Structure 1
Amino acid sequence: MIPAAFDYVAPTTVDDAVRSLAEAGEDGKVIAGGQSLLPVLRMRLAAPSKLVDLSRIPELRGVREEGSSIVIGSMTTHYEVQRDALVREHALLLALTTDTVADPQVRHRGTFGGSLAHADPAGDLLAPALALDAELVLSGMDGRRKVPASEFFVDFFTTAMRPGEILVEVRVPKYTGWSAHYEKFNRVAQAWSMVGVAVAMRTEGGTIAEARVGLTNMASVPVRARGVEEALVGQPASADSIRAAAERAAEGTSPPSDGNADAEFRSHLAKVLTGRAAMAAAGV
């Protein structure tokens, strides 16, 4: 199908983008990589009066280091995140998760910020952003503000972004020296995750000193598996202790039931995949 008619602007600064979006009012839409929005436009499930294209704003691209954090521009592509040396050194979980996103074509066009702002609970990058305590920087007519990932994801495809705001960057604390792994299950290659598990871990002398675990598609928003984290810390990095901790993976979740899997099966998957991901991160 052909999208409904709309106005199109491609500003070159964040301020101009925010102004253009404000002028459009509630009928304005931001387009980043377009991997999620374009199919919706073609099916006429959305009919914005104006599209604000962020692709020509240099400020929104790239990865940089700032003190104890790395900063990822919202328009940085999945491919760039996947290959970036700073990301692989200080936030390995993000790089490994991005390796699993869709296919090479999507990774070259889709953007890190676009995935987070889209807030699809089956999207792979939400859970690691939550597990790593990422902070999202939003820009609007009233200036900039920071929102922690734990408060950013509100519901299905719903975030804490206010009307007229644009996601400009994501700040991630450094997890230098941490091991990580992302494990997901889908019915066919390149499909959305039925369940995904993001694990980052720091070990000392064979003991798990710190652990962070995020779950994909186990609720309407990404979920932090606090029970698993608590059960892992202080335990030997062994298969037995990890399997025992993984049994707590479904605690506090509300997995959906749909044509791919019911809630009970997703809860089972969460436990199995958490064990696999944690063992891979621990190297056992």
Structure 2
Amino acid sequence: MIAAPFEYYAPESVSEALKLLTTHEDSRVLAGGQSLIPMMKLRLSRPSHLIDLGHIAELNYIAETNGSVRIGAMSTHNQIETSETLRQKCPLLAETAGRIGDVQVRNLGTIGGSLSHADPAADYPAALQALRAQVRLVSAKGDRTISIDQFLVDAFTTALEPGEILYEVIVAADTPGLGSAYLKQQQPASGFAVVGVAAQLEAKGGNIAVARVGITGLSSRSYRAKAVESALEGKAATAATLAAAAKLAAQGEEPLSDVYAGADYRAHVVQVATRRALEAALARAK
């Protein structure tokens, strides 16, 4: 199908983009276009005004500052996957980006676009929740920084308010002793996660000192697997500990049932994927 008629804008600065958002109420922001354009072609989304952020250089960067890595919203999945800064300072995010879609999607899609779309089967949310990431949102009225948990509200729903855009993602740089991994069972055609698990562990003296686990694809939104984290922290870093904790991966959640997988299948796979992700993360912890 062909998208409904719309006015197209290509601002060259964030301030110009925010002014356009304020001026035109029925508008949508375009990042990499990997989600919004197909929706527009199907006429599931019919904005009267389309504001393309692709010409705004200040939104495309990856930089380490004061123990954190800041990723501009227009950074592509490929840039994140291949960034030496992220590979060294936040390998979980680089690994996750490399598992998204195919080469074309990774070359065009952006972290800001993916997060703002908030697909419940997207890959980034699990990793960013395991990393305790923050996002910076800007509008003509000012800016605010909130946790990724606060930002991701539900399926296709975020904390973005009218007139706001996602400016950057902020993650803490890894410290010695951390190991991480992202593992998913994916939909064959789209590459989206049937279930995806991101894990980050720190082992000290034979015990698990820190456990961070994010899960996507299982239910209507990604989530922190707090029951798994609690079952790991302070316990012996053994295969038995990991296996027992992984059984709690779906606790408190309602697994989805759709054309890709049934609820029972997802509930089983999330336990297996969690155990394997934890095993890989522990093996990488140094």
Structure 1 and Structure 2 fold alike (TM over 0.5): yes
What residue is the counterpart of 1:198 in the other structure?
198
**Residue pair 1:32, 1:54 contacting (<8 A) in 2 also:** yes
What residue is the counterpart of 2:150 in the other structure?
151
Match runs of 1:51-130 below 5 Å: 51-130=50-129
Classify the secondary structure of the residue corresponding to 1:283. Answer: helix
* Structure 2 length-normalised TM: 0.95
Aligned residues: 283
Match runs of 1:1-284 below 5 Å: 1-25=1-25, 27-177=26-176, 178-188=178-188, 190-283=190-283
* Structure 1 length-normalised TM: 0.96
Classify the secondary structure of the residue corresponding to 2:162. Answer: coil
Write the letter of the residue equivalent to 1:202: E
Bigger Cα displacement from structure 2, 171-180 vs 15-24 = 171-180
**Residue pair 2:207, 2:235 contacting (<8 A) in 1 also:** yes
Take 1:74 and 1:275, find their aligned partners in 2: how far apart are those partners?
31
Classify the secondary structure of the residue corresponding to 1:129. Answer: helix
Q: Deviations over 1:111-130 (max 9, x none)?
A: 01111111001001111111
Classify the secondary structure of the residue corresponding to 2:193. Answer: coil
Take 1:219 and 1:91, find their aligned partners in 2: how far apart are those partners?
26
**Residue pair 2:123, 2:196 contacting (<8 A) in 1 also:** yes
**Residue pair 1:91, 1:176 contacting (<8 A) in 2 also:** no
**Alignment RMSD, CA only?**
1.4
Take 1:181 and 1:266, find their aligned partners in 2: how far apart are those partners?
19
Write the letter of the residue equivalent to 2:137: L
**Residue pair 1:121, 1:221 contacting (<8 A) in 2 also:** yes
**Shift >4 Å, 4+ stretches:** none
Write the letter of the residue equivalent to 1:81: I
Write the letter of the residue equivalent to 1:18: L
1:189 CA drift (Å) = 5.7
**Residue pair 2:102, 2:191 contacting (<8 A) in 1 also:** no
Take 1:9 and 1:187, find their aligned partners in 2: how far apart are those partners?
34
1:241 CA drift (Å) = 1.6
Take 1:221 and 1:8, find their aligned partners in 2: how far apart are those partners?
31
Write the letter of the residue equivalent to 1:51: L
Take 1:113 and 1:224, find their aligned partners in 2: how far apart are those partners?
20
Take 1:36 and 1:190, find their aligned partners in 2: how far apart are those partners?
12
1:206 CA drift (Å) = 3.5
Gaps of 5+ in 2: none
**Residue pair 1:215, 1:223 contacting (<8 A) in 2 also:** yes
Take 2:103 and 2:128, find their aligned partners in 1: how far apart are those partners?
21
